[in-house]
A and B are shown apart, each in its own frame.
Chain A
Amino acid sequence: MIASIAVILGCQLLGEVIARGLSLPVPGPVVGMAAMVGVLWLRDRYRPAPLMAVEPAGRFLLANLSLLFVPAGVGLVGNLEVLAGNWLALAVALVVSTLLTLVVSVVTFRLVARAMGQG
């Protein structure tokens, strides 16, 4: 467990250094995700002993992903006044835009997948 925490934090650290150092428009942890893919490739390719247990902490975090959004979500309480004056425009825009984005994304994905003969 400790080894897998260290590997994950190490990837995030590397990602932050690269993203901030190069002023990339991507968050550090997303670059860290790419670094983690590299770690997993190394693990499967060379099977080095220190990398054989990189999964437990990551699996634990992903199994409880909803929990991690609670602190940010609680930030809504008491901050909803920033919507004041425009709440109707914003509420309609968020609902319509989210529904439309879901439909356009999923339909585009399916049309292209079907055109490629993926069923």
Chain B
Amino acid sequence: MAGDFALWVYLTQTPLLWLTVTLAAYAVADWVSARAGRHPVANPVLISVLLVGGLLVASGTSYATYFQGAQFIHFLLGPATVALALPLWEHRALVVKSLVPMLAALVAGSVTAAVSALAVAWAFGAPEGVLVAIAPKSVTAGVAMSITEAQGGDPALTAVLVILTGMIGALVVTPLMNGLGIRDYRARGFAVGLASHGIGTARAFQVDPVAGTFAGIAIGLNAVMTAVIVPVLLGWWLS
């Protein structure tokens, strides 16, 4: 029994256990997603989060302990963002041809994302601190958290809202776009990258490489756009 405890103490102090668990959970989730024909509900991020989260709760492990292992995967988000240049360069002729529709969609979509979130939360009587935290929710987590922080809101709440927004977008985008009869993968990808950042972009790459390319561009553009408009909108709304 003392030996079991010593083993557990060892495992909680190295990144090995939770790094392995994260990769294994993703391997299972990706297999399920592939078997389901990449059906939007069989989202690999969602399945992995449920598997790993369940294990953390069952073993009484804190997120801080988990993150010691998972940080190596989390770190790769930065390099992956840089790597979005590869499909962007490959499809550059199409990207240049699409600049005007992209910029129009950026302005309309970015304003819609912030105003609609503010309006609905406000209509439900959410307090001012919550309004500040939800306004940048469509933007990649690091940028959204710094926008909230600069406006005096709670960045931890923003982080949760950003991840949830990503998952909602990844789950609904395919049925929604099929329902609207949109077959232009530039437009589909751009919309999901704008509305739900990297998690939406990961879904777009599952569906179509052109959709993934345009989703990646939308992440960067909407980060800049939202950083500019959210402080202005909040200034009007809360005055």
Report A's interface with B, CB cutoff 8 A.
Answer: 5, 8-9, 11-12, 15, 25-30, 32-37, 39-41, 55, 57-59, 61-80, 82-83, 86, 88-90, 92-113, 116, 118-119
Checking A15, A29, A76, A102 against B176 with a beta-carbon cut-off of 8 angstroms, the contacting residue is A102
**For window 77-102 of chain B, which residues contact chain A by CB distance below 8 Å?**
77-89, 97-98, 100-102
Contacts A32-B81, A93-B117 given; indicate if A86 touches B74 (C-beta within 8 A). Answer: no
Q: Is the CB of A55 within 8 A of B86?
A: yes
Report B's interface with A, CB cutoff 8 A.
Answer: 22-23, 25-26, 29-30, 43-46, 48-49, 52-53, 56-57, 62-63, 66-67, 70-71, 73-74, 76-89, 97-98, 100-102, 104-106, 108-109, 112-113, 116-117, 120-121, 124-127, 130, 134, 137-138, 140-143, 154, 156-157, 159-161, 163-169, 172-173, 176-177, 180, 182, 184, 186-188, 190-192, 194-196, 198-199, 201-203, 205-206, 212, 216, 218-220, 223-224, 227-228
* Docked pose: A118 CA to B73 CA in angstroms: 40
* Docked pose: A86 CA to B128 CA in angstroms: 12
Q: Is the CB of B220 within 8 A of A94?
A: no
Q: Is the CB of A76 within 8 A of B172?
A: no
Query: Closest CB of chain B to A74's CB: distance in Å?
Result: 5
* Docked pose: A28 CA to B195 CA in angstroms: 21
Contacts A36-B82, A37-B88 given; indicate if A100 touches B143 (C-beta within 8 A). Answer: no
Given A62-B84, A70-B22, A112-B101, output 11 extra A-B contacts at Cβ < 8 Å. A32-B81, A61-B79, A65-B205, A66-B26, A69-B163, A69-B199, A76-B53, A97-B113, A106-B180, A108-B109, A113-B186
Q: Is the CB of A33 within 8 A of B85?
A: yes
User: In the complex, which residues of chain A have a beta carbon less than 8 angstroms from the beta carbon of B62?
Assistant: 78
Q: Is the CB of A57 within 8 A of B83?
A: yes
Majority DSSP secondary structure for residues of B touching A: helix
Q: Is the CB of B124 within 8 A of A93?
A: yes
Q: Which residue of chain A has its CB nearest to the CB of B25?
A: A70
Q: Is the CB of A106 within 8 A of B177?
A: yes
Q: Is the CB of A76 within 8 A of B163?
A: yes
Name, among A99, A104, A109, the residue most crowded by chain B CB atoms within 10 Å (CB to CB).
A109
